[in-house]
Amino acid sequence: MELKVGATEVMIVSGLRGGLLPEREGRRRVAIITQPGASQQAVLVSRRLKEANLDVDVLGVPDREEAKTLNVAATLYERFSRIGLGREDTIVGVGGGAVTDLAGFVAGTWMRGVEVVHFPTTLLGAVDASIGGKTGVNLSGKNLVGVFWDPTRVIIDLDVLEKLPSALLQEGMAEALKAGLIGDADLVEAIEADGLEVSLDKVVPAAVKVKAEYVKKDPRESSERAMLNFGHTVGHAVEYASSFSHGTSVGVGMVAAAAVSEADVGFAEKERVIDAISRIGLRTSVNGLDRTRVRDLIGVDKKRDRKGIRMVLLEAIGQPTLRHVDDTMINLALEAIGL
C-alpha cells in the first residue's frame, strides 16, 4: 500500500521487494545509517542496494538517544566526506526513531541537503518518527537542534514490525492509540478489541494516515499539527520525572488529558481511553512519583505560550481541541494519574 505525505511516498509492505529507492539520476552512493537493534535489516537493505550497482557504506551509530548528538552527526559528516557522498547521492536511515531523526538531520544539512529515505524498524518509528519531516539531535534538551527535511520515501516492512519484542510494540502502540484518539475512531476500536495482538496491517496504515493528515494541514507545526501532542503535556513531565519510557509516559499522559477533557469540554469517554491503554499493557497511573516535580515540569516544554499551558483535549474520540488550562485543571490531571 502507498500513501503520499507531502513530498514523501510512504510504502507499507511485507518483505522487501523491488528497487527500494526512488529513481534518481546521478545517484552512485548510498550511506546507510543504522543502530544495533536494526543491523539485520540494514544488511538486507544494503545487499539489495548493492545488487542495484550502488556503492553502499553501512555506518553504525550508538543505540537509542546516544546516537542523537552533534558529535555523532560530526562523525557521520567526516565519513561522508571520506567516502565522497555527493549531492546526487542518498542517505538511508534503517532503525527506530533515533536513527531516522539523526539520518534526516545529517541528510538535511550535509551539502545543504541530500536525499534521505527511511526504513523504520520500530512501530514508533513507523507510525510517528519517520513521518512528517521533523529531524533533530539533542543538546541539553531533546531535539533542540534540527531541520524539517522530508524523506523522498519511507518503506515500512510489516514483517519486521511483527517480530518486535512486546516492549517496543507497546511504545509504538501508545502513539498509534494517540493517532486514533485524535483522528480515527475505528483505530481506537481495533486496539480496544485486540490490545497488543491487533493486526499491524490495520494499525500502521491507519495511524500513518492520521499523522499524514495533520502534517498536510500544517507542515511546519504552527497550529493544527500540535494535536499530535495529545497526551504529551503531562506525558513529557512524567517521562522527565521518572525512568518510564516515552510510550509508558504518554499512556499516562493520555489518561490525564482524558480526565481534563471530561471536566473542561464534556468528553464522555474517559473510561474507554483508560481501558485501551490497559489493553496495550501500559500503566494508567504513576502513584509514587514526586507530584511537585511533575507539576513543575508540566509546561516547561513547547506546549507553553504567553497565556499559559496549552493542552490537547478531546471533545469526542476523533475530535481534538487545543485549550489553555488553569491550575484547577492541572491538579485534576495529576489526581487522575494517582498524584
Ligand X SMILES: NC(=O)c1ccc[n+]([C@@H]2O[C@H](COP(=O)([O-])OP(=O)(O)OC[C@H]3O[C@@H](n4cnc5c(N)ncnc54)[C@H](O)[C@@H]3O)[C@@H](O)[C@H]2O)c1
Contact residues toward ligand X (CB under 6 A) are 35-38, 63-65, 68, 95-99, 101, 121-122, 124-125, 128-129, 132, 134, 142-143, 160, 164, 168, 171
Query: Does 134 qualify as catalytic in the annotation?
Result: yes
Residue 207 Cβ vs ligand X, minimum distance, rounded to whole Å: 12
Q: What Å distances lie between residue 89 and 11, 29, 156, CA to CA?
A: 21, 5, 21
Q: Which of 279, 315, 313, 260 is nearest to 187 (CA)?
A: 279
Over its C-alpha atoms, the chain yields an Rg (Å, rounded) of 20
Cβ proximity to ligand X: between 169 and 260 the closer is 169
Q: What Å distances lie between residue 98 and 28, 101, 102, 138, 314, CA to CA?
A: 26, 5, 6, 10, 29
Cβ proximity to ligand X: between 125 and 235 the closer is 125
Cβ proximity to ligand X: between 171 and 262 the closer is 171
Query: Does 175 qualify as catalytic in the annotation?
Result: yes
Residue 268 Cβ vs ligand X, minimum distance, rounded to whole Å: 29
Query: Does 112 qualify as catalytic in the annotation?
Result: yes
Query: 59 Cβ partners below 8 Å, 6+ apart?
Result: 31, 32, 33, 34, 76, 79
Query: Does 221 qualify as catalytic in the annotation?
Result: yes
Query: Does 246 qualify as catalytic in the annotation?
Result: yes
Q: What Å distances lie between residue 82 and 31, 203, 304, CA to CA?
A: 12, 41, 43
Choice among 29, 178, 209, 232 that is catalytic: 232
Query: Does 27 qualify as catalytic in the annotation?
Result: no
Residue nearest ligand X by beta-carbon distance:
97
Element (H, E) at 155: strand 153-157
Choice among 9, 65, 213, 221 that is catalytic: 221
Residue 40 Cβ vs ligand X, minimum distance, rounded to whole Å: 8
Inter-residue contact 318 to 181 (CB < 8 Å): yes
Report, as residue numbers or ranges, the catalytic residues.
Answer: 112, 134, 175, 211, 221, 225, 229, 232, 236, 246
